[in-house]
Amino acid sequence: MSAANLISLLNDYLSTYPQESATVNRYIDFVNHHDDCFERSQLAGHVTGSAWLVNTAGTHVLLTHHRKLNRWLQLGGHADGHQNALEVALKEAREESGIQHISTLSTKLFDVDIHEIPAQKNEPAHFHYDARFAFQATGSNDFTVSEESHALAWVDICDLASHTDETSMLRMAEKWQHHSL
């Protein structure tokens, strides 16, 4: 995958979710104007990959209580120069959960989000251009909490609002409940 492949995924996503055109067009514009969009050193922002990881039954999503941001979120992280956001999302899901048997449900984008990350220590405030993909645990649902998390939890997708009021999280729950991957 490359920047051109990511833009192709974003255009495909836009055809499915035209109501999200403002976000998707902003994402495309960012990628088109920043050759280093996959690098954390791009201080305006950078591409990240995230995983909507459901359990074997497809009824619960694995959330991390993120150590730095102190809120419940999907698994994911920085591309750090890797230009395949799907592979980044899968790697982060495995690293942050300890679950190794994970199936990719689709190579298409499940969700797209741009969110601001507050300034921390030596890092200025910046944006994460998040490419999100759907995955499913295919073996055990047992997880291991990594250093990046306070906790992990399988949360009933129908009850996600009891853990978070994040708009993008609730949007993904809605998409999952009406998905056709």
CATH code of residue 37: 3.90.79.10
Number of domains the chain contains: 1
Mean pLDDT on 33-51 = 95
List, for residues 123-164, the tens digit of each pLDDT value. Answer: 899 999 999 999 999 988 888 887 776 789 999 999 999 999
Q: Which of 67, 73, 75 is nearest to 91 (CA)?
A: 75
The residue range of the domain holding 9 is 3-177
CB 61 within 8 Å of CB 50: no
Confidence at 75, pLDDT banded by 50, 70, 90:
very high
Alpha-carbon span 173 to 161, nearest angstrom: 9
CB 117 within 8 Å of CB 128: yes
Who wins on pLDDT, 69 or 8? 8
HSE of 138, CA atoms in CB hemisphere, 13 A: 9
CB 174 within 8 Å of CB 136: no
Mean pLDDT on 100-111 = 97
Scanning 45-177, the segments in alpha helix (DSSP H) are 85-97, 167-177
